[in-house]
Amino acid sequence: MIALIQRVTQADVTVAGQCVGRIGPGILALVGVAAGDGSAEADRLLDRLLTYRIFPDETGRMNRDLVQRGGGLLLVPQFTLAADTRKGNRPGFSTAAPPEAARRLFDHLLASARQRHPAVASGEFGADMQVALVNDGPVTFILDTAT
């Protein structure tokens, strides 16, 4: 699994004009599921999302994670993150998990996140979503369970 994470002061996801997920300060994670990913990858990604140190400590250094800092986690399914972009001028999607497998893993990630963290919101799998955010820093990282 792959996630593009951004430290945000706020973020929300809208589907068909309705807000379906919103957080204040925290992490926005755009999540892609690759072919061959399973629950072990989802669990590892969640561990990293909750413990990746991207928030400042009292000296301004990135030494605090989401659990220490508090705040929200907004998980947004992002099919295109699993694309193969190594060559040509058009992405290939043979590296992405089939939709039902991807939905199952995203739902597993979301359910596990809600069990482990008090403030979790999400986008809607397979929907046309509009994501709005205020990137704090900006601070943006790619987390990949394959590496």
- 72-77 and 120-122 beta bridge pairing: parallel
Q: Which residues are catalytic?
A: 78-80
In terms of C-beta density within 10 A (0-12 exposed, 13-18 middle, 19 or more buried), how is residue 105 classed?
Answer: buried
Q: Are 12 and 58 in contact (CB under 8 A)?
A: no
Rounded to whole angstroms, the Cα distance separating 65 from 7 reads: 11
DSSP state letters, 45-56: HHHHHHH---EE
CA proximity to 113, closest of 76, 63, 69, 60: 76
